[in-house]
A and B are shown apart, each in its own frame.
Chain A
Amino acid sequence: MIGRVTQTMTSDQLLGNVQRLQRRLLVAQDTLSSGKKLRQASDDPAGAALVNGLRAQSADLNSLSRTIGFGRSVLTAQDDALGQAQDILVRAKEIASQQAGGLATATTRQQAAEEVEALERQLLTLGNTAIDGRHVFGGLASGTAPFSDFDDPGFDPLNPYTGPSGSFSIRTAPGTTVRLTTPGDQVLGSSIAALDGLRQTLVAGNSSTASIDPLEAAADGVRAERASVGGRARQLGDRASEITSSVSKITARLGDIESADYATVITELTQLQTALQATLSAGQTLQTSILDYLNL
């Protein structure tokens, strides 16, 4: 406890209090105007580390969601192409059945052979389906098409695929990937071979009975691949919505740590202003001194 009170003490203390209040007011005003309670790391060191981690996570998720979006478009393109391939195989099987029976003649088989050739060309085109110049059945390689052209002199219906043998995967989570592509020969190889078999049988004017089974087997293969594509597309879709909800949770967490609560800040600001006014008006009473009462 202090005994004597002197003029310097009173004014120093007043000044100290005013400055302390003004410093706090400055912080409160900055918090209010920036809307952030975490303005720099020293405001909340643990929170700063947390914010860092959350931001990194959210940046990774946002970037993943972009590549997943791309992956979904690739799988959708594959699904469309495989759907059309199924239609082609259905039509081919119809032709094979029609040209198997006794009603068929050399002429009808010749005509049918032309249709089958058109179907085969169509299937090869489907095998070269591309998004932005990148082939969805060719390991997403750009540049040359993975399936060789029907009119190529070296065209081999049993080995029409010239693309890469590897598949292409994208990241869906840290350390996890989902396969986007399957090498085209595994997907459409047997279908092309079956179609070409039918075509050659018809060109030769023979009955197409033997071609029905390979066509059915090829159609089963395409159906299975389409199911697999659909499954992976669903996986990416689920992951995309997971990411969306994770990002919004992270954003909410970030808000909790970083953003100022306006009600609290405004209340504090008002309290500080009142305190400052009170302190300053206390300062006015300091002007009263013994001199007012002495009549020297």
Chain B
Amino acid sequence: MAISDILNAGRSSLIAQQRALKVNGNNIANVNTPGYTRQRPILEAVPTSAGGGVRVADVEQIVDRFVETRLLGQSSTAAGASARRDLLEGVQSLFPVGDASVSGALQDFFAAANELSAHPEDLAVRNDLLDRAETLAGKLRSSAEGLGAVQREADDRVTADVADANGILSRIADLNRSIRVEEVATGSSANELRDQRRSALGDLAKLVGIRTVENDDGSVDVYARSGVALVSGSNAARLEARLGTTLGLDGAVLHDVGVVAPDASLIPLGSDPGGSIGARLGVRDDELVAQAGSLDAIAVTLRDAVNGVQTDPAGRDLDGLVGSALFAGTGAADLTVALTDPRGIAAAQSTTGGDNANALALANLQTTTFAGLSGQTLSGAMGALQSDVGASVRNATDAATIEDGLLANVQAQRDSVSGVSLEEEFTDLIRFQRAFQAAAQLISVGDGMLQELLGMVR
């Protein structure tokens, strides 16, 4: 045991404690940095044979792989639930509760038909019926247009999501390469780059459901839920939203989403791609199509029922002729009022004035049930559609709230493992500071001993 060993031990400790303090300081500095993973110096005793003392073997990140995986999954679910809720809320505003709705217009139309049955010859009443029919057709059209607009918005957002996802995929591939290069070069883990990759994966998971596999060389492979590779090592696949063949509610083509294969064909992402892309595709292709279908059924039933009474061979208009169709169109989106002359409304079933037999039949349609509407009345079917939309919004809102809560839980778990605690950092700070002081003391003791020896020589 030589005095130089004492000095050496002191020196190594001074350096090691300083490095530890540096890591400490870095943690404290990043206490509010999103996605920052706390680091911990690993102190290691240097064997006495190699001169003794202490050194910082590595600076490791404190990460729980399983919590990270759960966080990615939950990010997808929560982002999907929010995207779904936002789109469906747009649908709900098309079907307000109250008189401003299609239901209100339907009630007004039938009230006018009832009024016609009391005053079949009154042109003002006839005009009013045509006006109400116009309003009703307009409300149905604007609801259908609204559904089409929400569907187009979903499609546009998916296209934007795909562009975002492509940016993130190539960033992850780049980071994979940089991490491998840096870790091979330095022999220690590239913590900051890994943090960046983790947050890129988190951003990607919000867009689309992913599965990750970490390789031995430190790179991460990313797969879509269907198993298609999105990133392998330093190569990123490319997602594409390509114009497909399905027509949207607005009559224009919708996009198909998938991974571009080497032969430029599109590999679909499966039935449930997850994330906001999956949720938006779901609302676009399922809910909105079903709701538009119900609305069309109502419009078509209304058209056929009213036209049926109006063109009944027994029916007569004010000029004693059989009536012509009142509504025209193929569905809710293009329903119009074809009849312009109020005299053309077939209120009578005979040519004698004051006959209201056909108007009574028209007014009775209000309470008629139709097989095409699953045995409901027109206004019942409208109520069912409204309730359906309301229920889907409610479910989506509840799901979004629950999934956000779960995400907060997982996030808290991640923070608990990987987040910076100032209390801990400052306690460590004191520990390392005192160790630094002790090491300095050690050197001064060694120095004293050396002085002593030198004094003997003199």
Chain B residue nearest to A289 (CB atoms) is B422
Q: Contact at A4–B419, with CB atoms within 8 Å?
A: yes
Q: Contact at B354–A164, with CB atoms within 8 Å?
A: yes
Q: Contact at A52–B386, with CB atoms within 8 Å?
A: yes
Q: Taking the complex as formed, is A210 at the interface, i.e. its CB lies under 8 A from any CB of chain B?
A: no
Minimum CB–CB distance from A260 to chain B (whole Å) comes to 14
B346-365 contacts to A, CB under 8 A, are: 350, 352-357, 360, 363-364
Partner of B416 from the list A5, A53, A139 (CB cut-off 8 Å) is A5
Partner of B32 from the list A8, A165, A169, A177 (CB cut-off 8 Å) is A8
Q: Contact at A12–B420, with CB atoms within 8 Å?
A: no
Q: Given the complex of chains A and B, what is the CA–CA distance between A42 and B364 in angstroms? A: 31
Q: Given the complex of chains A and B, what is the CA–CA distance between A119 and B366 in angstroms? A: 48
Chain B residue total in the interface (Cβ 8 A): 66
From known contacts A3-B416, A9-B412, infer whether A60 and B352 are also in contact, taking CB-CB under 8 Å.
no
Q: Contact at A63–B388, with CB atoms within 8 Å?
A: no
Chain A residue total in the interface (Cβ 8 A): 61
Chain B residue nearest to A163 (CB atoms) is B352
Q: Taking the complex as formed, is B421 at the interface, i.e. its CB lies under 8 A from any CB of chain A?
A: yes
Residues of B within 8 A of A16 (CB): 408
Indicate with 1 or 0, residue by residue over A163-174, a CB within 8 angstroms of chain B CB atoms.
111101111001
Q: Taking the complex as formed, is A7 at the interface, i.e. its CB lies under 8 A from any CB of chain B?
A: yes
Q: Taking the complex as formed, is A40 at the interface, i.e. its CB lies under 8 A from any CB of chain B?
A: yes
Partner of A40 from the list B119, B390, B426 (CB cut-off 8 Å) is B390
Q: Given the complex of chains A and B, what is the CA–CA distance between A70 and B305 in angstroms? A: 27
Q: Given the complex of chains A and B, what is the CA–CA distance between A258 and B97 in angstroms? A: 10
Q: Contact at B421–A5, with CB atoms within 8 Å?
A: yes
Residues of B within 8 A of A50 (CB): 383
Quick check: which of B108-116, B165-173, B212-220 contacts chain A, the rest being far away? B108-116
Residues of B within 8 A of A170 (CB): 117-118, 356, 360
Q: Contact at A174–B354, with CB atoms within 8 Å?
A: no
Quick check: which of A78-86, A140-148, A201-209, A277-285 contacts chain B, the rest being far away? A140-148
Q: Taking the complex as formed, is A48 at the interface, i.e. its CB lies under 8 A from any CB of chain B?
A: yes
Minimum CB–CB distance from B455 to chain A (whole Å) comes to 38
Q: Given the complex of chains A and B, what is the CA–CA distance between A38 and B387 in angstroms? A: 12
Residues of A within 8 A of B415 (CB): 6, 8-9, 12
Q: Contact at A7–B388, with CB atoms within 8 Å?
A: no
Partner of B390 from the list A9, A48, A60, A63 (CB cut-off 8 Å) is A48
Q: Taking the complex as formed, is A266 at the interface, i.e. its CB lies under 8 A from any CB of chain B?
A: no
Q: Contact at B383–A49, with CB atoms within 8 Å?
A: yes
Q: Contact at B354–A12, with CB atoms within 8 Å?
A: no
Residues of A within 8 A of B242 (CB): none
Q: Contact at B412–A171, with CB atoms within 8 Å?
A: no
Minimum CB–CB distance from B387 to chain A (whole Å) comes to 4
Chain B residue nearest to A174 (CB atoms) is B367
Residues of B within 8 A of A44 (CB): 390
Q: Contact at B391–A42, with CB atoms within 8 Å?
A: yes
From known contacts A48-B97, A290-B423, A294-B426, infer whether A13 and B412 are also in contact, taking CB-CB under 8 Å.
yes
Residues of A within 8 A of B412 (CB): 2, 9, 12-13
Residues of B within 8 A of A71 (CB): 118
Q: Contact at A4–B416, with CB atoms within 8 Å?
A: yes
Q: Given the complex of chains A and B, what is the CA–CA distance between A145 and B103 in angstroms? A: 41
Q: Given the complex of chains A and B, what is the CA–CA distance between A60 and B86 in angstroms? A: 36
Minimum CB–CB distance from A235 to chain B (whole Å) comes to 16
Q: Contact at A177–B420, with CB atoms within 8 Å?
A: no
Chain B residue nearest to A135 (CB atoms) is B354
A117-173 contacts to B, CB under 8 A, are: 134, 138-143, 163-166, 168-171
Q: Taking the complex as formed, is A175 at the interface, i.e. its CB lies under 8 A from any CB of chain B?
A: yes
Q: Contact at A41–B97, with CB atoms within 8 Å?
A: yes
Q: Contact at A174–B390, with CB atoms within 8 Å?
A: no
Q: Taking the complex as formed, is A291 at the interface, i.e. its CB lies under 8 A from any CB of chain B?
A: yes
Q: Contact at A42–B394, with CB atoms within 8 Å?
A: yes
Q: Taking the complex as formed, is A55 at the interface, i.e. its CB lies under 8 A from any CB of chain B?
A: yes
Q: Contact at B413–A40, with CB atoms within 8 Å?
A: no
Q: Contact at A9–B419, with CB atoms within 8 Å?
A: yes
Residues of A within 8 A of B419 (CB): 4, 6-9
Q: Given the complex of chains A and B, what is the CA–CA distance between A170 and B359 in angstroms? A: 10
Q: Contact at A45–B388, with CB atoms within 8 Å?
A: yes
Residue among A53, A143, A163 having the largest count of chain B Cβ atoms under 10 Å: A53
A47-105 contacts to B, CB under 8 A, are: 48-53, 55-56, 59-60, 62-64, 66-67, 70-71
Minimum CB–CB distance from A161 to chain B (whole Å) comes to 12
Residues of A within 8 A of B31 (CB): 7-8
Q: Taking the complex as formed, is A46 at the interface, i.e. its CB lies under 8 A from any CB of chain B?
A: yes
Chain A residue nearest to B419 (CB atoms) is A6
Residues of B within 8 A of A141 (CB): 121, 352-354
Minimum CB–CB distance from A4 to chain B (whole Å) comes to 5
Residues of B within 8 A of A53 (CB): 379-380, 383
Q: Given the complex of chains A and B, what is the CA–CA distance between A271 and B379 in angstroms? A: 40
A1-44 contacts to B, CB under 8 A, are: 2-9, 12-13, 16, 38-44
Chain B residue nearest to A74 (CB atoms) is B118
Q: Contact at A52–B383, with CB atoms within 8 Å?
A: yes
Minimum CB–CB distance from A41 to chain B (whole Å) comes to 3
Partner of A67 from the list B106, B108, B118, B353 (CB cut-off 8 Å) is B118
Q: Given the complex of chains A and B, what is the CA–CA distance between A245 and B340 in angstroms? A: 39
Residue among A138, A174, A258 having the largest count of chain B Cβ atoms under 10 Å: A174
6 contacts across the A-B interface (CB closer than 8 A):
A16-B408, A48-B383, A51-B97, A52-B382, A141-B353, A166-B350
Q: A51-B97, A67-B117, A171-B114 given. 16 additional CB < 8 A pairs?
A: A12-B415, A42-B393, A52-B383, A56-B106, A56-B377, A59-B107, A59-B110, A60-B110, A60-B114, A141-B352, A164-B355, A168-B355, A171-B360, A174-B364, A258-B97, A291-B422
The residues of A with any CB-CB pair to B shorter than 8 Å are 2-9, 12-13, 16, 38-46, 48-53, 55-56, 59-60, 62-64, 66-67, 70-71, 134, 138-143, 163-166, 168-171, 174-175, 177, 258, 289-291, 294, 296
What are the 5 tightest A-B residue pairs by CB atom distance, in nearest-first order? A41-B390, A52-B383, A6-B419, A164-B352, A141-B354
The residues of B with any CB-CB pair to A shorter than 8 Å are 31-32, 89, 92-93, 95-97, 99, 103-104, 106-108, 110-111, 114-115, 117-119, 121, 350, 352-357, 360, 363-364, 366-367, 377, 379-380, 382-384, 386-391, 393-394, 397, 408, 411-413, 415-417, 419-424, 426-427, 429-430
